[in-house]
Structure formats: structure tokens, C-alpha cells
Chain A
Amino acid sequence: MNKKQGPVSKLHRRDFIMVALKGTLGLSSTLGLIGLIRFLGYQSDPAPQTEFELGPASNFPPGSRTPVPEAQAVLYHMPAGFIALSLVCPHLGCVINSVEQGYACPCHGSRFDAQGQVLNGPAREPMRVLRVEQTPGGQLILYTG
């Protein structure tokens, strides 16, 4: 040890150790936090179903409007083809009720017309349009994903 370096060197060493201590504690805390976030981020529930088999297209005559409760949707057979509207309210996710001239949400009063356009209410977006495909065998498949 260099005897010429008196109190100044002691100070440097103490500060260094303090910095090292704070550093390792900080690193430990960060590692712990990262581990905690990964731990809590694990999802055990399986992803919900996004494809629904509706059956033969012949079950849904032209002009029909058929509720599909398990998919929370309504199936329309339009002149142009099959289309579905999601009954999940675009406002905050409640399931919308069918009413005479369209749809009404029981939670905050949003109203939509039969095409899903907003008539009034806190909702600002229209009801979501969902994809419907027909297999070569004539079976309909609804996609909610």
C-alpha cells in the first residue's frame, strides 16, 4: 500500500465498495423483478375457440338472420353471401341483445341498426363484421379471431 495516499484513498475505496454493493443489490432486484414478471405472465387457461362449424349452408336460407350463441354472433344470409356480425359490444364488451329494428346493449344503452351501424349510445364503432367461409362440402365455418 502506498503510504502517501492517506484519507483520500480510504474514501475512494469506501465509495467504491458502496457503489459495488448498491450495484449488486440493484442487479439482484432487477433479476428478481424480471423473474417475477415472467412468473406472473404465465397463462394457464387455453386460448378460446375462434373457429365455429355452423353446419350445412342449406340450413340458413337466403334472407335469414340466425343467432349463433356459442360464437356470440349473428349469421346473415345476404344476396351477396354469408356474413356475420359480432354481438360483442364495441364499447366495453357486453353481449348485445337483438331487438326489433336492430340491436341494443344492456350495459350502457348503445343501439345499433340491423346492419350493425351505431344509432346512439356510448359506442363509437359499429358492430364487428366476422368472416364466414364455405367448405367445398357446403359446410359453413365462422371465424371470430
Chain B
Amino acid sequence: MQTIRLFLASLLLCLSLLGAAWLQSRQPRPVSLLPTLTGQVEYCLTCHADLPEISPSHPVETFGCVLCHGGERLALDADLAHSTMRGGRNPSEFAVVEASCGSGDCHSGTAQDQRDHIQRAVTSVQGTYAGAIASIRFTYGAQSDQTARLGVYPVQDDHLTTATGLASLGTFDPSQESSPSVKAFADYCLDCHLSAEPLPGAQYARLTGCAACHTPTANTDLDQPVHHLTTAIPYTQCNTCHNRGNYDLRQMQFHPRTDQPVDRLHDYYQPIAQFVRCEWTLDCVDCHTRFEAMGDGDIHSNKKEIQYIQCRTCHGTLDELPLTRTIAGQDDLALRMAFLNPVIDLKVGDTVLVTEQGEPLWNTRQLADGAFELFGKATGQRFTFRPVMGTACEQKLDQQESRDCHECHSVKR
């Protein structure tokens, strides 16, 4: 009798051990990755092996996943593994960007090393929204001039390089404002800076932080993860904030554009806008420079202080040819940018256009006959154009605003 009980108990023991063996066989086989930059093995690929490579400059064998995303590299339980991830699905959110994209070896550092991306983005007007805030507060009497004092987050800059750079911005706090219009501005108009969550709708679909521009998500379902970083930013990504409608400053209301465009010509700019052919054929990034889009490192009060590209930057004037520079060495910024987005096969010795501030327009090249070629950064399309000098252009030298060129060259829709 006792022996039967012992037998049944050992049978139970056997079955429990078999059960444990079965559970062990059901565990996912760990897939390890030893990134060369960290030297610490990670097992994220056990579940995420089907994720595409995020960009050619961030190969997973070198970076791994944890260096950028955080998370528990050894855990195979999803909740634990993801518990310490920075910024959830987006490690480039400004709250955590320094730990994810920054640190001395990567995108944070000094302008001399050309590693100041985070410093520039965080102080940029698109990041601080200082321009909109200062204009509204000035308009409604909350401040006496248009110099910015407040941003959507506090920021400091100890190293000023331009005449209009500011030392710091405080935080814009609607509860401290007395004007009801300024308060209404805070309620309705703060959806379009780099750390703001976008309005609902595929046309506004973007992430925040660096990914707001560098991860193309426009017109997609934001719930679907997009694991992609690029410098070939199409105009649609800029249009998740820009060209989306108009603000009524009296009512403090945003009126989204209501047209249903079916082609690029009608989709690019708002129905009321005026533009020339290259402005809708090229993408925004083909003209607007690194300083304009990401900031020059200084805190500015208004986008007018940072936007400086004009038609004549590429086309010159009747009197002057556009500025150029010949690439002298392998370290030239133009070569590095062209390497990241190889729409153009730049080489040492090529001559590229440069802006008045010395920024290379690395997607351009001077041709033997004095004309220029330009390659679209997002489309790869090639265009050629001649400088204005020596043509039948009727421009006046003191009228170089875009509306002046639009007089003759604007496109009819």
C-alpha cells in the first residue's frame, strides 16, 4: 500500500519534471548580438530579428539596440526587457535624447567637432517655439519687444556666436499669463514644435525629438512602428507641421487647409501660396540648410534671424556669380554629407555652391561650362541651371526677396 503511494508520488514527480522539460523546450532560443561599440551581449534580436536596419550609418552589428534604446539587454520577458527603454518607442524624444543620441562620441559635443546636433536642435526655433511665443506675447502686450524670453522648455546657451543669439529662455507657463489671448494661444496653438505630440490625423503624423524630421512617417498610421532614420527628408515630412493651414489670431483658432490635393503641385503648398517651379519640384531640404533647419547653436527670437537662403544663393545676381568652394580634402563637410546620402558622387576637387555663411550646398556641383547641376536629396532627380549673370533676367539688385522673383517666375496652379 505504502509502495503504491510512493510509486504514484514518483510518477507525479516524473510528470512534473517532464512538464518542466517541455516548458524549457518552448522557451525562445536566445539570439545573441555582440555590438562592437559596447562589448556587452544583447538578446533583443530573439524577438526583433525582423526589424529593418535603421540606417546604413547605424549598423546593428556595431551599435546593437541598447546603446540607443536602453532596455534590459539580457531579459527575454517583454515587460522586463522594455521597462528601462528610453522614450518608449522613440529614444530621440528631447527628454532623453542626450542619453540616447548624445554622449561625447556621438551627436552631442562642440561645433568644432561638428558634433553639436543635439545642442543645435534643442536651441533651434523649431524646438523652443520662441518665435511664436514672443510674437504672440508682444502682440497682446505681455512683453514690450519682440525679443524672446520664453520657450516651451527652459534652455541655456553659454556660447553665443551670432549677434542675435540669446543666453537663455525660461518656460512659457500659461498660468502665469494674464492676457486671455495668450492663454488661448497656449491652449490651441502649441501642437507644432519638436517636443509636441502631433494633432491626430495621418497628415500630421510625426514623432517628436530628432525623429520628428529624420524618421519619415507622414501620411502613415503612427501606431505602426517605423524603424528608419534618414537625412533624405521628403517635403511631406516637413508638411506634418508646415503648410497645414492658417491661424486666426483674433479667435486664436487654427483652420486646417481643406483642399484634397492629388498631385505634388497641389499638395506641397497651401492653396493661397505663391511659389516658383523649383520650390515645388525640389524638397525643402534641397534648399534650406543645416543651420536653417536644425539651428546654428544659438537661441534666436524669430525664424527671420535664422532663415537666410534666397534664390540668389544658388542663382547669383546679374552682377555676381553665386558663391562656390572647391573641395580640398577628405574631411570636407560636403563629402561627409554626400557620403551619408549618396545622390551625388562628390569627389575631392569638385566645386560646390556655398551659402553666405559658408554652409556647403553639397547636393550641387559646378559643371565645366559654368552651369550647375543639383540632385534632389529625397528624390535623386538631377537638375541643371545657369547663373543669372548674362541672362535676360529683369531683376533689380535691391529687390532680392522671394516675392520679387515670384513676380515673373511664379507658377500658376
Contact = CB atoms under 8 A, between A and B. Distances in A.
Nearest to B6: A21
A21 B34 contact: no
| Overall SS of chain B's interface | helix
B4 interface: yes
A12 interface: no
B17 A28 contact: yes
Most chain A beta-carbon neighbours within 10 Å: one of B7, B20, B39? B7
B7 A28 contact: no
Interface in B1-51: 3-4, 6-7, 10-11, 13-14, 17-18, 20-21, 24, 34, 39, 41
A139 interface: no
B20 A35 contact: yes
A7 interface: no
A35 B17 CA distance: 9
B6 A31 contact: no
Interface in A30-51: 31-32, 35, 46
A21 B127 CA distance: 74
B40 to A, nearest CB: 9
A134 to B, nearest CB: 22
A89 to B, nearest CB: 28
Interface string A70-85: 0000000000000000
A24 B20 contact: no
A24 B14 CA distance: 6
Contacts of B7: 17, 20-21, 24
A30 B20 CA distance: 14
A35 B22 CA distance: 12
Interface residues of A, number: 13
Contact of A31 (B3, B17, B41): B17
Contact of B3 (A17, A32, A46): A17
Contacts of B13: 24, 28
B3 A18 contact: yes
Interface residues of B, number: 16
A94 interface: no
A21 B10 contact: yes
Contacts of B24: 35
A17 B11 contact: no
A25 B3 CA distance: 12
Contacts of B10: 21, 24-25, 28
A14 interface: yes
Nearest to A20: B7
A66 to B, nearest CB: 24
A26 to B, nearest CB: 9
Contact of A17 (B4, B14, B18, B34): B4
Interface string A81-106: 00000000000000000000000000
Contacts of A21: 3, 6-7, 10
B42 to A, nearest CB: 11
A27 interface: yes
Interface in A8-25: 14, 17-18, 20-21, 24-25
Contacts of A14: 3
Contacts of A18: 3
A46 B6 CA distance: 45
A46 B33 CA distance: 10
B239 to A, nearest CB: 44
A10 to B, nearest CB: 12
A31 B14 contact: yes
Interface string A117-134: 000000000000000000
B41 A46 contact: yes
A35 B24 CA distance: 10
A18 B4 CA distance: 8
A32 B17 CA distance: 7
A25 B8 CA distance: 11
B21 A31 contact: yes
Contacts of B20: 35
A14 B4 CA distance: 9
Nearest to B12: A24
10 contacts: A21-B6, A24-B10, A24-B13, A25-B10, A28-B10, A28-B14, A31-B17, A32-B17, A46-B39, A46-B41
Given A24-B7, A35-B24, 20 more contacts: A17-B3, A17-B4, A17-B7, A18-B3, A20-B7, A21-B3, A21-B6, A24-B14, A25-B10, A27-B14, A28-B10, A28-B13, A31-B14, A31-B17, A31-B21, A32-B17, A35-B17, A35-B20, A35-B21, A46-B39
Interface of A: 14, 17-18, 20-21, 24-25, 27-28, 31-32, 35, 46
Which 3 residue pairs are nearest across A and B when measured between Cβ atoms?
A24-B10, A21-B7, A31-B17
Interface of B: 3-4, 6-7, 10-11, 13-14, 17-18, 20-21, 24, 34, 39, 41
